[in-house]
Structures are given as structure tokens and as C-alpha cells.
Structure 1
Amino acid sequence: MQYQKIITNTYRCLLLAVVFSSCKKLVSVPDPINTISTGQVFSSEKQANGAMAGIYTRMINAESSAQPADIVQNSFAAGLSTLLGGVSSDEMYNYQGAGDQNWYLPNTNKLTAYNNGFIFNIWNSAYTSIYAANAVIEGIAASTSPNLKDSVRKALTGEAKFVRAFSYFYLTNFFGDVPLALTTDFNKTRIMSRTPQQQIYQQLVADLKDAVTTMPEAYPTSSNERIRPNRYAALALLARVYLYQRDYANAADAASGVINHTDLYQLEANLDNVFAPTSREALWQLKPAGVFMLNNALPEGFKLVPNPLRTGYPSICLTDIQLKAFETGDKRFVSWVDSTQPAASPNTPPPALGYYPNKYKIGSANSSFGAPFKEYQTALRLAEMYLIRAEAAANGGPGGISSAISDLNIIRNRAGLPALPSSLNQDQLLAAVAKERQTEFFAEWGHRWFDLKRTAKAHNVLSAIPLKQPWAGDFQLLYPIPPAEINVNHFLTQNLGY
């Protein structure tokens, strides 16, 4: 999808969001051009909030015309970041092997610029969210309506900046240097070159600081669901961005700012509640819209949970490397991993036992039409703040080694594991942080792949995996820029190696 197409579709979705509070593809409507910004969408608080709600609906439901099984493959926020990041790293593999090239090529790190299937969809869906966020920011700034209070203007602008930062975080970690579009003006964006990643991170920090200052502490929904971000969701993402920049003092400070609000946030003692709509651990979740045939399943669960349960063929499974990372007695393995043994065909041996991520437990086999959702797509959660603070302290941040061990033990205690000894040195402590991140955030939003890359461990870990040999080269640690984008914008260049 090219920039112009993204902008047009975004405008249409924003307009429809006002009427339907969701982003559904209906009959064709005239291109709104510039008239969207003030008179139509941002003339009242209700309409402006509807525009923001439409962005989240599009993020989790992708294109409404997609088949249910395809939604997860069409949006970076509906599970695509999880699955592509998982197969590109050492935590997941495609069960069908070479029979499904869209997963097999990133799984074996054999991508080229023209064979990357679902990877283009990360680019397209993330930029769709970015343009929608920019449209809200510009529309609010241009609106002269007296029905849009100043406090609402500031809060919604901060919320849109959060969405823009969240989307850019995934874009830059998948693709590296990408165009930094802070406007919906196609005349400007169509000739943009790639922006250095460090400059993108600077923009993320600026956007998230604004969001922390202007967004409310309470979640802006009447149901108290955490399906629209608040100030602390922005602070949590800011903590992550600081960590990725190795700004350990600020990372620890931002993480503590979330952890200390025990009135809002607590780790769920029962791991089965972590991804529930009522989770007190959740900082921000995306609520599905009940797309036809998905019933009450999330797109990610629909893709991963086999049908029939425990005897159906799985789609994507956990690697032996990931399975061996769990210590004996780890409750995360018990609650968040399941297995299936497909039945053997006549005259053929039984297929291999497959262990698959089961954080989201409802799929096509056990979903129900009209039933309430028992889980929401969880984008940010409290456990990450403890591990960010631990990693920052282990790298010389506030509290030092003793503080880092204490935070790690909080996560380990919840998982039913023994406490780490106080005698760990820095190298041992950093290894312990990496291990806890591997077992806490497996099959979540590409955390493992990003962690390997940002800690400079990706080459040594990934190039040694038999499935990924012969190693094509470290250029595979970034995805290729979609050639269609380069064809229409000759200021864009391809990532080296492709």
C-alpha cells in the first residue's frame, strides 16, 4: 500500500468512526481531501473521541474485508508483530515448514525484497495508524469549534501522539531507518527519504513526554476498561524507548512512575488473568470488535490455537530453544504453553508434537458466537516495567545490582520460581534479565527478536540455529523496505543486502 492510498483510507475510516464508532469498510465515499479536519470530525468532544476510537478498532481488526484467519496477518497490532518477530528470532517456528513460504522465509532468515509476504503488512498497517494519528493532531489544531474544550484538545492530541510513537516504535525496530511523517500532507510525505533511527527515537521521546503531560491519569472510557491509553501507558512506552536508547536513569525513573501507582496496577497472581479484560496488570489493551467468524476469539488466538484442540495441526509452534528456557516448575510454562498431537494419516507416522503459545486461549475451536470476550490484546503490561527497571539497574542505573535482583525476584516469585541469590555479579545479572524477558514475554509483540538485536546477541544466537543455516547475513536483522514504496518515491532507498 502506498502513502497516498494509506492517507485516503485513513480519512475514510476517521469519517466512518464518527458515525459508527468503528472503522468498517462500507460503500465508497468521496475522498474528503482537506474537509475532514474541522467541520466534520472535530466539532465536538463526542466526534473527536469517535475518531480516536476508530484508530484502535482499525489496529486490532485490520481491514474488515479480510478473512478472520487473515486479520492477524494484516495488522502489526493484531498479532503480526508477535508472529513475524517470533519466527525471525529463536522462539517460534512455522510448523508447515517450506509448505508455507510466507512464514518459512522469515523463519529461515532467507528474505529478499520481493518474497516477504506479510512483512509488507507491518509497514502498511503501522503507517495507516500514523497517518490517522496525524489527522487527529492536525484536525484538533485546526478546529475552531467552541464545543471542543481545551482540556479535551490537549488530552486527545497527547493520545494521538502516543499512537504515533507506538506505531513508529515497531516500524523502526522492524525496518530500521524509515520516513518520519509528522503530517498528512501527501505533497510532503511522497518525497520523504529515510530518517535515521536515532532521530526517530528523539521524536518518540518528544511525543511521549507530551502525552504524559497532557493525557489523563484515569482511563478515558466509561467502562473503566483499559482499551484507550492513559498517562501511565505513555510513561510505560517512554520507559521502553529510554531502555532501547540505553538511557538507564530515565528508563528506571519512568518505569518506577508506573510501578508506584499500586492503586491502578498490580501483577496478577493468577497468570490466566494477565490478558483478561479485567487485568490489573494491563496498562493498555486493544478490544476486538467481534468480527464475523472470529466470534469471541482474538485474531492471534484464532491463528495459533489448533482446531480441534490438542489434536489439530498447529500453525506456529515454540522452538526447543524457547521450551528449554523455562525452569522446572515455571508457572508460565503451565499457563501460557499448550501442545497438540495431530492424528496420523493412513500409512504415515504421526506428526510431531507441537507446543504452541497459549497466552490467548480462545481460537476457532472453542470460540462462541455472541459470547463475551474473555481476553483482550494486551499491548503494554506492568511486568515489563519491573524488567526494564531491573535491566537499567543492572547497567548502572538507580539502585544497582541489589535493586535489579529484587525486581527480578518479584517476577520470578509470581512465576513460582526460587529467588535469585544476592551474590550475582553484573554479567550473571544481565544474563538473568535476558532469561526472564525470554520467558515472560515470549510470543508477545516481537520482544525476543528486538531484545536480541538491541543487545547485539542476534548474530551469535540466530546464526547457530540449524533451521537458519546457512546464515544469509546480518542484513536479515532488518526487514526489506516494500519495493512498491521505493517505486513511487525514489527518495527512498532499500536496506543494505536486499
Structure 2
Amino acid sequence: MKKNWLSYMLVSALLSGALTSCSDSFLDLKDPNHFTNENFWQDKADAESALAAAYSPIKYQMNGYYGAFDGWLNLNSRGDDIFTILNEEASMWDIATFQNSATTGNDPYGALYAGIQRANIVLRYIDQVPASGITESDRAMIKDEALTLRAYQYFLLVNNYGDVPLRLVPSNEDDPNKTSSPEAEIWQQIEKDLTDAINDGNLPETRPAEQKGRIEQGAAIAILGKVYATQHKYKEAKETLKGLIDSSYSPFGTSGKRYRLMENFVDNFTTANENNAESVFELQYSSDGDMSWGNEGGISLGSSLAQFVGPAKSGGWAKLMPSAFLVSEFTTETRGSKPTVLVPDLDKDGNPQYNEDGTQKMKEIANPDKTAEPNSKYDKRIYASMFFTPEEYGDWVTEENGWYDGKFYGGLFTMDDLWTGNASKMAGGAPIFNVSQASGAQIGKFLLKKYTAHYVKSKSADNMGNVEGRANNVRIIRFAEVLLLYAEACTKEADKDGANWALNEIRQRAGLPEKEFQQPELMKEIEHQCLLEFFGEGHRFDDLKRWYTTPQIQMILKGNDKQGAYNFREKHKYFPIPAGELNNSSVEQNKFWK
């Protein structure tokens, strides 16, 4: 399934070079062994190959926006839900502690413009495909897919850099000295591209298995809703997201429409349940190809997230950990009383004991048949998000005989194994997880679990050499985000009922009791649910940017013991435009970093 669509990526490097940098003299050679604008655009397969190239810069295994290095590390390390381990990556440490500069690390700026360039190529040349080679409906669908990809990559640019150049045609047809456009102009173009793609009605509501991962109508609408919310256009966000929810979402516990929340939260982060009913936009990875460290040049189609975030004991590099603040938020609310059963009260030799009236003595114990699903003490998402030992925190479930497929195979590691394996990496510091118990506070042990290969039965599950682990897709937009953005928009528009409905959909899946929040309480609960729902998915820092001013963000980061919090300034809400880009263009550094 993945290989069919991803195989188009094999021509991405050749295609992007041939269609963007060929001189007129080269094109005049008409060499049939090279892609040119004259010999390439022959049929639908050519157009889809060009379109696939526009996806690549987002998903590059290493340096794409969602790639493991530096993309995923930088997305997560700026948030207060993550603790960055010292002495791992110098550039990540600088960004995590707000000490970065225009020369720090591998920046996504250039990759995003590569994606925009490729989308512009599709939009410019697809009409050259003759009618004999493509249906008009397919041509229209590919155009709208390219518009959505261009809009999404401009959204990532403007949200991370502010003013940036607006390029709507291939670079060989554009002004090479173009300077940055104001943010407002970029936002306007993003809205136009998405609105056009949605209103055209050419994007499918769902796709067949061999096309999974490609933009659908729901993805375009969800992106537009997020674009509105990011600009605080909450009326428009509410209307847009409500339309998507009403037309395509089945409330939790039911089915029948395109989208629904998965019953088990962990199903959003394993290979067994890719492209599921909760997935709105998902980047496709595969174990096919070389196990090389690169950007599909070799060709490597796999993901390396598990390698970067997995525990050292399982072959990972464990560059990130949960923060103490995150753990405290996960353990604030419990799911109710402990499930128990009555059993005979036996003496030390195993003999039954009796009361004075002759009846057998009984005692109440935790039900031995209860497991983490669905009768655990805490929010169910904690068990899919972090490695820890539940019974150390008064929970009545165990760690299922050890991690790494321990539930079914007896377990390859205990939590103590994983923690000991990480001990040498923590020499430069680690969070102190104080989880309050009836007996007082105790220091706990937590490691990041989300996007590790914990579901693989292997002692080196997180090593890049593990075939299944590197095939795991990355979920960029889940319907949970649609619901929480909708709750936020409803709150800002004083629609208490709409906000509570969406919040309780999320709470119900987490195993938390339904609650009715009053208007003043809603945003606090939305922030709390966003933190727990998207921990380790790179949302937290952007959420803080959307909700708070710079002084407020700094106060929050300080209060939550975020590394480098005292360094945080207005400019750190954005990345600087990389020095290499400034040296090769007429673009000026954005106003925050001048």
C-alpha cells in the first residue's frame, strides 16, 4: 500500500532538478533520457510523480519539517512538555533553550520553499498533459491537491518566520530579487488557495488504499480551520470546523462517517493502525529502500523518529524526555475509585480465617483481572505516551510484564531496565518527577513512549535497523485536533455548549468523566486537554504562541521549569531566516531578528 504511492518519490530528485534548473540550451537538446517540460508531461502518472515531489520536503527522513533531525527535535524541544537531554545535539540545545541564531542547525526554511516550488511546477505545467493522457476530473483534483500543499507549506513558513517571499510561479519565471511580503499578504494567499481547493469540490472525501496519505477534502478543511484559529479569526474557524464535524465525524463510540476518534489512543502511533479513521493528514513512511540517513536520495523511505526518541536500552538515542510539568498534569485528574473484589483472607500458611460468628473472613483487593484498558487509575493517554511503572504511583495496574510487546510475549524490558539503560545519558541532568501520593511525594521515572517502536518484539526495536519501527507513519493532523480547535473557537465565540460537547468527546476517549465547564473555565480545560492529547507531537509551543503574549509565555515557561525560560524573548516566537538564504537572495532578515 505504501510502496505504490511512495514509489513516485523515486523520481523526485531528478524531477525537481530537471524542471527547475534546466537552461534553455539544455531543454533544446530534447534528450529522451532526461526529464524536460517537453517530454515529461505526457499523462496522469507524470503529473502524480510531480505532485509526490511536493510532499517530500515536509517528510524528509532527516531534515524535512517533520523529519527526525532537526525537524521533530526542534518542534518538540521548544515546548514545556519536553525535557531536552543535555549534550545531545548542540543545535537542538540552542533552540530548546532559546539561544539560537541565524546559523543554528539545519533549518526547514529551504525545504519548505522546495515544496512550494514543486507545487508551483504542478500548477504551471499540468495543463500541458494532453486530454488523451488524463481525465479532466483527475487534472482538477491534482491541481487542488497542489494548491493545498502550497498553502500548508506557506502556513508553516509564515507561522515560523513571519514575513517571507511569496512565490506563486516556478522560480525560473519569477523575479529572482523578490523580497519578503508582509505576513497579512501571506495569510491572505493561504486562505485563497485553501478556499479555492475546497470550493472546487475536486478533492475526494476518502481515498482507496493505494492513495492513502494524499490530501483529502477533510485535510484541506482542517488546515483552513487551523489557519483561521492561528490568526484568531475564531468566527471563521468555528464555521469551517463545524461544517467538517457535521458532515464527516461520528461522535465517540459510534461509526458510519469518514472520521471518528479511535477507541484506543495508542492506535494512532503504531504501524498496525496507520491511515485510520482518526487520521486527517498522515505522512507515509516505509521500510522499503536503503537504511540510509538522508532525504530520499539513496533511497531511504523510512522514518527515524524511533531512533531519535526511543530509550537507550532499546537501541534509541533518547534525546527527549517528558517534563516534570507534563507528568504533573497527567496525574492531576484520576478516573474514579479503584476497582476491587472480595477474596478469602488467608493466614501466612494459606489457610482460611474465620470471624467469631463462624463466617469466613474476606478482604478487599484490587481486581487481579483489571488491566490498563479501560480500568486504570489515570487518564488512558498516559499509558500510550510514556514509559513508567504504574504501581509506583498508586495505580492498580502493572507494567504488563515489561515493555516492548510485553503484554503478549512476557516482556523484553522492565521499566527499571529502560531507566538504567538511560542513566548515562542523564548525567547532565534529568527532571525530578514528584507525583503526590497518600504516603507523600516520591521521585518517579518517566520516559517518552509515543512514536517509539514499543509495539515491536525486539530488544533493539528503536534502532533504525528495525524494519517495522522505521515504517511507522507520522500523524500530522488527527481529528482530535479538529475537535479541540473547534472547542477553542466555540469558547472564543461564547458558545459554551459547543465547546463542552467537543471537550467531552476528547475526555470520553481518555476515560475521564463527562463534565460541564462554565465559560470562564473552558480555555483552561482546552489548554489542559491539548497538552495531554498532543504531548510529544510538536504542538505545545505553537499552542502557547496562539494563546498568550510574549510576557505571559515567559512566565508560563518559568513556572513550569522550562529549560532556557529566562532567555525567552519576542523574537523566539519565530525562527530567524537562515544566514545562507540571506546571503543568496534579496530577502532581508525578519523584523524580529534584525
TM-score category (smaller protein): 0.7 to 0.9
Give the conservation status (yes or no) of the 8 Å contact 2:12–2:52.
no
- Seen in structure 2, the aligned counterparts of structure 1 residues 314 and 77 have a Cα distance that, compared at 3 Å, is closer
Corresponding residue for residue 10 of structure 2: 22
> What is the one-letter code of the residue matched to 2:262?
E
TM-score (norm 2): 0.70
Give the conservation status (yes or no) of the 8 Å contact 1:343–1:351.
no
Corresponding residue for residue 382 of structure 2: 333
- The answer as to 2:576 corresponding to 1:480 is yes
The one of 398, 419, 429 equivalent to 2:514 is 419
Shift of 1:495: 3.8
- The answer as to 2:77 corresponding to 1:78 is no
Give the conservation status (yes or no) of the 8 Å contact 1:277–1:374.
no
SS at match of 1:330: coil
Shift of 1:42: 2.6
SS at match of 1:403: helix
Matching of residues 136-215 of structure 1 within 5 Å: 136-186=122-172, 188-214=174-200, 215=202
Shift of 1:287: 1.0
Shift of 1:404: 0.5
> What is the one-letter code of the residue matched to 1:91?
D
Shift of 1:240: 0.7
SS at match of 2:327: helix
Q: Deviations over 1:285-326 (max 9, x none)?
A: 1111435337996322221112423x9652111211222221
Give the conservation status (yes or no) of the 8 Å contact 2:147–2:194.
yes
Shift of 1:425: 2.7
State the aligned residue count: 460
Q: Over alpha carbons, which structure has the higher Rg?
A: 2
Matching of residues 101-120 of structure 1 within 5 Å: 101-114=90-103, 116-118=104-106, 120=107
- Seen in structure 2, the aligned counterparts of structure 1 residues 186 and 322 have a Cα distance that, compared at 3 Å, is farther
Give the conservation status (yes or no) of the 8 Å contact 1:129–1:167.
yes
Give the conservation status (yes or no) of the 8 Å contact 2:261–2:278.
yes
Give the conservation status (yes or no) of the 8 Å contact 2:43–2:129.
no
Corresponding residue for residue 88 of structure 1: 78
Query: Distance between the aligned counterparts of 1:376 and 1:461, measured in 2?
Result: 32
Corresponding residue for residue 12 of structure 1: none
SS at match of 1:204: helix
Corresponding residue for residue 451 of structure 1: 543
Shift of 1:482: 0.6
Query: Distance between the aligned counterparts of 2:483 and 2:316, measured in 1?
Result: 37
Query: Distance between the aligned counterparts of 1:478 and 1:59, measured in 2?
Result: 18
- Seen in structure 2, the aligned counterparts of structure 1 residues 172 and 278 have a Cα distance that, compared at 3 Å, is closer
- Seen in structure 2, the aligned counterparts of structure 1 residues 162 and 293 have a Cα distance that, compared at 3 Å, is same
- Seen in structure 2, the aligned counterparts of structure 1 residues 322 and 495 have a Cα distance that, compared at 3 Å, is farther
Corresponding residue for residue 483 of structure 2: 386
Q: Deviations over 1:139-178 (max 9, x none)?
A: 1144455423221221111000111111111111111111
Give the conservation status (yes or no) of the 8 Å contact 2:225–2:237.
yes
SS at match of 1:378: strand
- The answer as to 2:232 corresponding to 1:242 is no
Corresponding residue for residue 310 of structure 2: 305
Query: Distance between the aligned counterparts of 2:486 and 2:6, measured in 1?
Result: 40
Corresponding residue for residue 449 of structure 2: 358
- Seen in structure 2, the aligned counterparts of structure 1 residues 186 and 264 have a Cα distance that, compared at 3 Å, is same
- Seen in structure 2, the aligned counterparts of structure 1 residues 23 and 302 have a Cα distance that, compared at 3 Å, is farther
Shift of 1:21: 4.5
Query: Distance between the aligned counterparts of 2:36 and 2:523, measured in 1?
Result: 48
Aligned-pair identity (%): 23
- The answer as to 2:267 corresponding to 1:273 is yes
Query: Distance between the aligned counterparts of 1:108 and 1:372, measured in 2?
Result: 30
Q: Deviations over 1:194-222 (max 9, x none)?
A: 222222111111111112133332444x4
Shift of 1:25: 5.4
> What RMSD over aligned residues (CA atoms) do the two structures have, in Å?
3.2
Give the conservation status (yes or no) of the 8 Å contact 2:322–2:448.
yes
> What is the one-letter code of the residue matched to 1:52?
L
Corresponding residue for residue 68 of structure 1: none
SS at match of 1:109: coil
> Bigger shift: 223-232 or 127-136?
223-232
> What is the one-letter code of the residue matched to 2:306?
G
Give the conservation status (yes or no) of the 8 Å contact 1:177–1:197.
yes
Unaligned runs of 5+ in 1: 1-16, 63-70
Shift of 1:481: 0.7
Query: Distance between the aligned counterparts of 2:52 and 2:158, measured in 1?
Result: 25
Shift of 1:58: 5.0
> What is the one-letter code of the residue matched to 1:440?
E
Corresponding residue for residue 535 of structure 2: 442
- Seen in structure 2, the aligned counterparts of structure 1 residues 433 and 350 have a Cα distance that, compared at 3 Å, is closer
Query: Distance between the aligned counterparts of 1:59 and 1:228, measured in 2?
Result: 13
